[in-house]
A = this chain, B = another copy of it.
Amino acid sequence: MRLRYLSLCLAVLSANALAKTEQVRSPNGQIEVHISDDNHPHYSVFFQGKPVINESKLGFDFQTAPSFRDGFEIVSSSQDNVSSTWQQPWGEEREITDNHHELAVTFNNKAKQQAYTVRIRAFDDGIGFRYEVNNAKPLTVVRELTEFSVAQSEKATAWWIPARGWNRYEYVYNTTPLQQAQLVHTPFTFKNADNVHLSIHEAALVDYSAMVLDQRRPGTFVSNLTPWSDGTAVKTNGQFKTPWRTIQIAKDTVGLLNSRLILNLNEPNKLGDVSWVEPGKYVGIWWGMHINKNTWGSGDKHGATTANTKHYLDFAAKNGFDGVLVEGWNIGWDGDWFFNGDVFSFSKPYDDFDIEAIAQYGKKVGAKLIGHHETSGNVTNYRNQMTDAFELYAKNNVSQVKTGYVADGGNIKRIDADGIARYEWHDGQFMVNEYLDNVKLAAKYKISINTHEPIKDTGLRRTYPNWLAREGARGQEFNAWGTPPNPPEHTTMLAYTRMLAGPMDFTPGIFDMSFNGLGDQTNRPQTTLAKQLALYVVLYSPIQMAADLPENYEARPDAFQFIKDVPTDWEKSIALAGEVGDYVVYTRKAKKHKQYSGNDWFLGAITDEQARDIEVKLDFLEAGKRFEAQIYQDGKDAEWKWKPYELEVRKQIVTQQDTLSLHLATSGGVAIRFKAL
């Protein structure tokens, strides 16, 4: 019946002479959004005069209330233009520019007495829009009907991970024609036939469930909200605002990376004074367990002992690291912790872990214990102990905690008000609230949070600046045991996908790749040593781990020097060049902080399985200044499989006028400190 249907579509669309369409453009005029009530509320997006998103519907289906589908007309609209800057207490950039044009349109269905507003903000780097609903009675959302109908989708290429799998966001990225993606997570990045790069995501995900994208028709994705255990998606009291549905748009790859769209759509800081939130670097009793030298549980290989922690605190203090993460310190790691995390105590250490002695020792040497709360997805058990747990840490000078929610997708266990076990998704509304409650409670104790197995980042670090970082992708640990380990292109993929959402605690810096043997058939980081250094600049995080064992750093002081020198808080960041999944080059200017002067620049470049020679113009450096470029690059014979360790460290005086020629080996990189002279 398709042919007849199409001709009727056209007939109906042109029949409605009373239909209204409103428009808003970005400040530079290159992006245009149309929103219309013709036939069914819908929007479309244009870039440089060409459609990038075709007519895409808007709406909701509710559990009991009538749907928001057709029968709505635009009854009012308002505009607002904003041109401002604001400051981050920490970040990839201190000063953020927020220039946008806003259009808010109200749709009304007279017959059903329903209304909603769609607020659109058009920036030069993309758009965001959200629904605002003000219903007298509660509304339970079952489906959100937002479409993203990609123009000329048959020619588009996408880089994506599947959604609703067991392993949450921890997947290797796929590169396919866009039409082959079925159900995918955001950020969802793709490019069209004009090389316009786009990425669909959301900002300010609060008290709502996450959106995954569901390619219902070729090229048309529909928002697919992660459900509760009872099948509904979002429970509201009737007055709610959805997260911003965001579409980053750029004429090239670096335009995506240099966008601040997600942050600009988040609410300002709600925590007031956050001077206690500290970017920094850390080491930890962690990797040793992943490579089987130690155990989380008790026994003669127990990693989390007082003695071992002191050893790490010494190493941290000596080398300018702020803290030591210790995993396996608390009762519960023996036995079936994965199947029944109710065995975890968050305040009772093992006998060989003297937290008070460690706190004292840390104060003495000048490095802190970093806490660890692994829930294994049993969130009620954690919640019941959370206050006591934070109090224990606050009392012991712990100001940063890594949390964990190891559990299959769909298998977070909570105990409801009737004492019945319910199984939720990590990205359903329940957990979205649970993660944020944890962060808010931590703030009361001046504790910052680094969430593993998290909800995806949607920029809430602006509103809650103690939410420092999270995992939410395959990190370094997969190189210890993953099937497969992260492939050579993995981090060059992350840069254009996961990293658009916000900081990642990737935990770079593995120096010993030989623990299972070199080559390409073992579990190991599939990179060169230089690439491990470059990651400190390429993958932004306010907290960076030097993930390896101390002895492996002591064995390579030449390479380790870079890790000691690199800061984690930045005045400015600029993505200079790259292609998705191929390579990326970033430069960042250090922010004056702790031992870091505010004058140095840093550069990081990484490549995939292809070796690459790149030319980098240093025109980002300040005019009239001289810098000593301390260059850590792959040796001329380096290649990731058998010769990952070949590193060349050289120094060169440079100015803004210079261009550097850099060679990256296969799965290689280059890391540079431009030390101000």
CB contact between A480 and one of B3, B220, B477 (< 8 Å): that residue: B3
**Could you mark each residue 265-296 of chain A with 1 if its beta carbon is under 8 Å from any beta carbon of chain B, else 0?**
00000000000000000000000011010011
Instruction: Let me know if A455 is at the binding interface, CB within 8 A.
Output: no
CB contact between A230 and one of B11, B228, B232, B410 (< 8 Å): that residue: B232
**Chain B residues, Cβ within 8 Å of A166:** 216-217, 220
**Chain B residues, Cβ within 8 Å of A290:** 3
Instruction: Let me know if A164 is at the binding interface, CB within 8 A.
Output: yes
A336 touches B8 (CB 8 A): yes
Instruction: Name which residue of chain B comes closest to A182, CB basis.
Output: B182
Instruction: Let me know if A316 is at the binding interface, CB within 8 A.
Output: no
**Chain B residues, Cβ within 8 Å of A9:** 338
**Chain B residues, Cβ within 8 Å of A408:** 216-217
B182 touches A406 (CB 8 A): no
**Could you mark each residue 236-280 of chain A with 1 if its beta carbon is under 8 Å from any beta carbon of chain B, else 0?**
000000000000000000000000000000000000000000000
A49-87 CB contacts (< 8 Å) to partner B: 61, 63-67, 69
CB contact between A61 and one of B64, B69, B423 (< 8 Å): that residue: B423
The smallest C-beta distance from A453 to any residue of chain B, in angstroms, reads 9
**Chain B residues, Cβ within 8 Å of A289:** 4
A216 touches B409 (CB 8 A): yes
Number of residues from A at the complex interface, CB < 8 A:
61
- On whether A3 and B232 interact (CB within 8 A), knowing A182-B183, A336-B12, A423-B67, the answer reads no
A338 touches B296 (CB 8 A): no
Instruction: Let me know if A670 is at the binding interface, CB within 8 A.
Output: no
Instruction: Let me know if A299 is at the binding interface, CB within 8 A.
Output: no
A231 touches B420 (CB 8 A): no
Question: Please, how many angstroms separate the alpha-carbon atoms of A278 and B370 in the complex?
Answer: 77
The interface centre, meaning the residue of A142, A231, A409 with most chain B CB atoms within 10 A of its CB, is A231
**Could you mark each residue 79-113 of chain A with 1 if its beta carbon is under 8 Å from any beta carbon of chain B, else 0?**
00000000000000000000000000000000000
A5 touches B406 (CB 8 A): yes
CB contact between A165 and one of B2, B64, B216, B338 (< 8 Å): that residue: B216
Instruction: Name which residue of chain B comes closest to A224, CB basis.
Output: B164
Instruction: Let me know if A404 is at the binding interface, CB within 8 A.
Output: yes
The interface centre, meaning the residue of A165, A228, A480 with most chain B CB atoms within 10 A of its CB, is A165
Instruction: Name which residue of chain B comes closest to A296, CB basis.
Output: B4
B292 touches A3 (CB 8 A): yes
CB contact between A231 and one of B215, B220, B230, B374 (< 8 Å): that residue: B230
The interface centre, meaning the residue of A182, A335, A374 with most chain B CB atoms within 10 A of its CB, is A182
Instruction: Let me know if A37 is at the binding interface, CB within 8 A.
Output: no
A210-234 CB contacts (< 8 Å) to partner B: 214-217, 220, 227-233
Instruction: Let me know if A361 is at the binding interface, CB within 8 A.
Output: no
A142 touches B230 (CB 8 A): yes
The A interface, classified by DSSP as helix, strand, loop or mixed, is loop
Instruction: Let me know if A193 is at the binding interface, CB within 8 A.
Output: no
**Chain B residues, Cβ within 8 Å of A215:** 165
The smallest C-beta distance from A467 to any residue of chain B, in angstroms, reads 22
**Chain B residues, Cβ within 8 Å of A296:** 4
Instruction: Name which residue of chain B comes closest to A374, CB basis.
Output: B1
**Chain B residues, Cβ within 8 Å of A335:** 8
Instruction: Let me know if A162 is at the binding interface, CB within 8 A.
Output: yes
CB contact between A164 and one of B64, B214, B482 (< 8 Å): that residue: B214
**Chain B residues, Cβ within 8 Å of A164:** 214, 216
B217 touches A227 (CB 8 A): no
**Chain B residues, Cβ within 8 Å of A1:** 338, 374, 404, 406, 477
A4 touches B63 (CB 8 A): no
CB contact between A63 and one of B230, B421, B481 (< 8 Å): that residue: B230
The smallest C-beta distance from A314 to any residue of chain B, in angstroms, reads 27
A1-25 CB contacts (< 8 Å) to partner B: 1-5, 8-9, 11-12
A348-402 CB contacts (< 8 Å) to partner B: 374
**Chain B residues, Cβ within 8 Å of A228:** 231
The smallest C-beta distance from A388 to any residue of chain B, in angstroms, reads 24
Instruction: Let me know if A339 is at the binding interface, CB within 8 A.
Output: yes
Question: Please, how many angstroms separate the alpha-carbon atoms of A182 and B480 in the complex?
Answer: 27
The smallest C-beta distance from A452 to any residue of chain B, in angstroms, reads 9
Q: What residues of chain A have their CB less than 8 Å away from a CB belonging to chain B? A: 1-5, 8-9, 11-12, 61, 63-67, 69, 142-143, 162, 164-167, 182-183, 214-217, 220, 227-233, 289-290, 292, 295-296, 335-339, 374, 404, 406, 408-410, 420-423, 477, 480-482
For the complex with contacts A8-B336, A182-B183, 9 further pairs of A-B residues with Cβ separation under 8 Å are A1-B374, A2-B481, A3-B480, A4-B338, A64-B230, A143-B410, A166-B216, A227-B231, A231-B232
5 closest A-B pairs by CB: A231-B231, A142-B231, A231-B232, A1-B406, A166-B217
25 contacts between A and B (CB under 8 A): A1-B404, A1-B406, A3-B481, A4-B289, A4-B296, A5-B406, A8-B335, A12-B336, A63-B231, A64-B230, A67-B423, A143-B229, A164-B214, A164-B216, A165-B216, A166-B217, A182-B182, A183-B183, A216-B408, A216-B409, A228-B231, A230-B232, A231-B231, A231-B232, A231-B233
